[in-house]
Amino acid sequence: MYNGKSVAFHTLGCKLNFSETSTIARLFQEKGFVKKEFSQPADVYVINTCSVTENADKECRTIVKGALARNPEAFIAVVGCYAQLKPGEISNIPGVDVVLGATEKFKLLNYINLSSKSEHAVIHNCEISEADFFVDAYSVGDRTRSFLKVQDGCDYSCTFCTIPLARGKSRSDTIENVITNANTIAAAGVKEIVLTGVNIGDFGYGRDIDGDAKKRKTYTFLDLIKELDQVTGIERFRISSIEPNLLKDEIIEFVAYSNRFVPHFHIPLQSGSNDVLKQMKRRYQKELYEERVSKIKELMPECCIGVDVIVGFPGETEERFLETYDFLNCLDISYLHVFTYSERDNTEAITMDGAVPMAERKRRNKMLRILSAKKLRAFYESQRAKELSVIFEHENKNGFMYGFTQNYVKVKYPFNEKICNERIDVIVGDFDEDGSMTCVVKEHLLA
């Protein structure tokens, strides 16, 4: 029906969004669409949005405008988290044809109309309580790594967060289906899988796959990773962001002794002040976070640990910010993802007293980004002269190829097609000006 028609995708936000975009793309290709780069002219442009992105409306307008410049008659679909939260705002963007929320994005093909542009965007947006079923997703073909969705939604009520409003309650895939998808990914030649979700540590505790909140699963995230560890064909499994209160000692211990789960954790902190954590309604205090880091480093001294942190939350005084800074400075972590707090409609935090001026939020953000650069440099330098394994990506960037070691050190090497997408042992060299480490590949591997 659509043979010869083309489609292009643009994804904003997290690894979960990338897994879902890739799945939607496969549905289009199954119907005869040719997938193109978003920078090329196409018949259909799909924009998968994020609720965390600041200035989402402005960003979405810019992306739509660029797509229409390449093909003024293109069908423009905007889907995802921001489309669920602010469908009216998106529908007012000139050129948008359809806006699809949380439950409808995987049904996008049902709404495609290539005969003519719509005068007004059509909105298909459910009540978020109706997003009570799980749709599996994974990426293949876009990267050396595959993002595999195992969980969706969140039952937490953090006062700054809109994700439960955009994705609904926590629900999980079955272990059996996750294993099936992992085997499919392995058969496609992918060597590394990154497990993704909104709150993956909650895997197995959310609503059942049929949406019945009364049915509680008996399996856990630990059960899942134990089963995945048996999948053949996958060299590495990497756990994406996991809440500190759900990162149990048993999970850390399993990863430490696994041959496939790599020593890399990304653990949201958000604040190093217990007062601010309480205001955020986080489910732990900084002492627990410190215990988790200590446990990881005790068992995996070379482990890479990434941290999410928010600056400028209401009530974050200078004293509380410095408490966060000092806590992070003393913590044995590898890098930070720093977010500047921004007000979000329909969140509890937007009504709180103690708003921090935007200029001060930006100053604090800069301080932590500088600290992050120092932490990352120190971690990378600690890996100098060590033998690590790396999977190089296919892309040739100015004569070099890049990849990540098992503990997430980015390394570079002169491009060599023979070792793309292969697990290769290297000796880590010096820190390079582009933020990666040089490396030496053993000669016999290049023969």
Q: Output the pLDDT for position 42.
A: 95
CB burial of residue 283 (10 Å; 0-12, 13-18, 19+): middle
Instruction: Give whole-number Cα distances, 157 to 132, 163, 256, 355, in Å.
Output: 17, 9, 31, 20
Q: Output the pLDDT for position 55.
A: 73
Sign of CA dihedral 87, 91, 96, 97: positive
**Nearest-angstrom CA–CA distance, 39 and 10:** 9
Which ranges of 229-285 does DSSP label H, i.e. alpha helix? 249-257, 274-280
Q: Output the pLDDT for position 13.
A: 83
Q: How far is CA 159 from the centre of its chain?
A: 21
Sheet holding 335-340, edge to edge: 264-270, 304-311, 335-340
Distance spanning both ends of the chain, measured CA to CA: 47
Q: Output the pLDDT for position 54.
A: 67
Q: Which amino acid is located at 440 in the chain? A: V
414 DSSP β-pair partners:
400
Total number of residues shown for the chain? 447
User: 190 near 234, Cβ under 8 Å?
Assistant: yes
Q: Output the pLDDT for position 446.
A: 56
User: 248 near 222, Cβ under 8 Å?
Assistant: yes
Q: Output the pLDDT for position 125.
A: 81
Residues of the chain with pLDDT under 50: 206-209, 211, 213-214, 447
Q: Output the pLDDT for position 207.
A: 47
Question: Which of 217, 435, 410 lies closest to 426 in space, CA to CA?
Answer: 410
Q: Output the pLDDT for position 230.
A: 95
Q: Output the pLDDT for position 133.
A: 86
**Nearest-angstrom CA–CA distance, 247 and 201:** 7
User: 59 near 12, Cβ under 8 Å?
Assistant: yes
* Long-range contacts from 76-79, C-beta under 8 angstroms, 24+ separation: 76/44, 76/45, 76/47, 77/44, 77/45, 77/46, 77/47, 77/108, 77/111, 77/112, 78/47, 78/49, 79/24, 79/46, 79/47, 79/48, 79/49, 79/104, 79/105, 79/108
Domains of the chain: 6-126 (3.40.50.12160), 131-262 (3.30.750.210), 387-446 (2.40.50)
**Nearest-angstrom CA–CA distance, 269 and 279:** 14
Give the global pTM.
0.92
